[in-house]
Amino acid sequence: MLIKTLIIATLVAIVISLAVGMLFLIKDKGHTERTARALTWRISLSVSLFVLIMLGVATGYIKPHGLYAPSHPVARTGQQP
């Protein structure tokens, strides 16, 4: 449950960083580096989100699933529609 909480927290932090970057872009009109710093934080958070998801899959806390439900005919035969 901890990894899922960290993923949600990282997603929220990404959205906040994006909003702060937009606010700085509108407010400063490109005269300061605050927008670039906020977007750098967003990129760093996005990379950490990717690492968290891969860590969760590798450790088994997050179980990936296929496109189709197990009861779907394509999932049982392995054929493409």
The domain limits of the chain are: 2-77
**Cβ pair 17, 42 in contact under 8 A:** yes
Place of tokens 């750098």: 40
pLDDT in tens, 3-48: 889 889 999 999 999 999 888 888 887 778 888 888 899 999 999 9
- Confidence (pLDDT) at 28: 84
For residue 3, what pLDDT is reported? 83
| Torsion sign over Cα 10, 16, 22, 24 | negative
Amino acid at 61: Y
Q: How far apart are CA 63 and CA 57, in angstroms?
A: 6
